Amino acid sequence: YTILSKVHSDRNVYPSAGVLFVHVLEREYFKGEFPPYPKPGEISNDPITFNTNLMGYPDRPGWLRYIQRTPYSDGVLYGSPTVENVGKPTIIEITAYNRRTFETARHNLIINIMSAEDFPLPYQAEFFIRNMNVEEMLASEVLGDFLGAVKNVWQPERLNAINITSALDRGGRVPLPINDMKEGVYVMVGADVPFSSCLREVENPQNQLRCSQEMEPVITCDKKFRTQFHIDWCKISLVSYFIFCIKMMFEVIRGEGILPDGGEYKPPSDTLKSRDYYSDFLITLAVPSAIALVLFLILAYIMCCRREGVEKRNMQTPDIQLVHHSAIQKSTKELRDMSKNREIAWPLSTLPVFHPVTGEIVPALHTDSYDNTSMPLMQTQQ
């Protein structure tokens, strides 16, 4: 179901199209290519990270993924090869970085994709496992246990692991570091027989209703997975590739790929006729300008020629109102004149009338000897 190989210099691997491919980049292998620790006999545990890319390109092919959690764990290349790459060798450059000494080591991995006779398998099912991370699921023993459980439930003659995808690549959120929560992983498997009744139980109306209410559906074969794998049965996907191909064959009508003959192409002539734009000018500029001029004249007549005047307004105003208005204007003018002349003597009501100590009457001060800027309005009596 999978091809598992240790990294070597210029290693050739032969995965099959449509079958899960896993390649482990072991840190122990690259430790021998880096200088040892200064102290003899000390165990080397250098942090090592890997960079993988297609030869001549900055990134890997679209079907190939890479994961390494920490610099102290092994790196893993995994993915499902496509039929388009069959027969074309894919050279992956693997560069290891020693984060202690900044040394590098480079190896080439030559992937020769082989064609599979039974690909694609007509029936494919995708499971979502909640208690696993992608690097844990890629381990050969864990994936073997899962395929064994699926085989007991499905009972197929041929069963292959097609692809493994992290839930984070499907839009999932990073889990909180509480109780060692996992991010989850999607595992797609294919078989040559129709889906079993246990897998079909997810499509029951009762289970669909429970899934819509965010409740666990009732699946009879869930106990065969529950000991090691916690499957979210509401996210399982069942696809019949054979039925899908039949529907496409009847629904899609493929033509010959040749466009109908539309005749000989006739380009426009080199000599173009002259065009008169006078009518366009009249419609675009003259007509709006004329309308604006008429509106301006009407507004000017209303504003200038229809004014009644002050005399007519006064004739229509009552006499008592005019008297009040005239009195208000006179008072306002008088106040403004008084505010302009500020050098006159202060009113007697604002000057002290007796001495604050002796109590004698103090005559009014003149403007020349009285500082009206510093004298308060009322003196405090002792």
C-alpha dihedral, 74 to 75 to 76 to 77, nearest 10°: -150
Is residue 93 within 8 A of residue 66, CB to CB? The reply is no
Q: Which residue has the tokens 């009972």?
A: 155
Contact criterion met (CB below 8 Å) for 177 and 140:
no
Cα dist from 309 to 253, 313, 323, whole Å = 87, 7, 19
Q: Where in the chain is the domain with CATH 2.60.40.10?
A: 11-113
Cite the DSSP H helix spans in 233-350. 241-251, 278-281, 287-300, 310-315, 319-340
pLDDT at 255: 55
| pLDDT confidence of residue 182 | 86
What is the spatial distance between Cα 13 and Cα 23, in angstroms, rounded to a whole number? 9
Residues in the chain, total: 382
How many CB atoms lie under 10 A from the CB of residue 169? Answer: 12
Residues 6+ apart with CB under 8 A from 323: none
Q: How far apart are CA 70 and CA 75, in angstroms?
A: 9
Measured between alpha carbons, how far is 311 from 313 in angstroms, rounded to an integer?
5
The pair phi, psi for residue 204, each rounded to 5°, is -65, 145
Q: Are strands 123-129 and 75-79 parallel, antiparallel or unpaired?
A: unpaired
CA distance 31 to 96: 10
Region for residue 324 given its phi and psi (left: phi exceeds 0; alpha: psi -120 to 50; beta: otherwise):
alpha
One-letter amino acid identity for 276?
A: D
E strands in 140-216: 159-166, 185-191
3-state class (DSSP) for residue 12: strand
End-to-end CA distance of the chain: give it in Å, rounded: 113
Contacts of residue 100, Cβ cutoff 8 Å, sequence gap at least 6 = 46, 47
| Pair of tokens at residue 109 | 């991995």
For residue 145, CA distances in Å to 77, 141, 217, 224 come to 21, 6, 23, 11
- What's the fold here for domain 11-113? Immunoglobulin-like (2.60.40)
Asked if residues 75 and 68 have their Cβ atoms less than 8 Å apart, the reply is yes
The pairing of strands 104-112 and 11-13 is parallel
Full pLDDT tens readout for the chain, 382 residues: 444 444 445 788 888 888 889 999 888 888 777 776 666 656 667 889 999 999 989 889 989 999 998 999 999 999 988 888 888 888 999 999 988 888 888 889 999 988 876 667 888 999 999 888 898 888 888 898 999 989 988 888 888 888 899 988 888 888 877 777 888 999 999 888 888 888 888 888 898 999 888 888 888 888 888 888 889 998 888 888 754 444 444 444 555 566 666 677 777 777 777 788 888 888 888 889 999 999 999 999 888 877 666 677 777 788 888 788 889 999 998 888 888 776 666 555 555 566 666 666 656 554 444 444 444 544 454 4
The answer to whether the beta carbons of residues 34 and 46 sit under 8 Å apart is yes
pLDDT at residue 246, as a whole number = 45
Give me the amino acid identity at 127.
Answer: F
Contact between 187 and 137 (Cβ < 8 Å): yes
Amino acid 240: pLDDT: 80
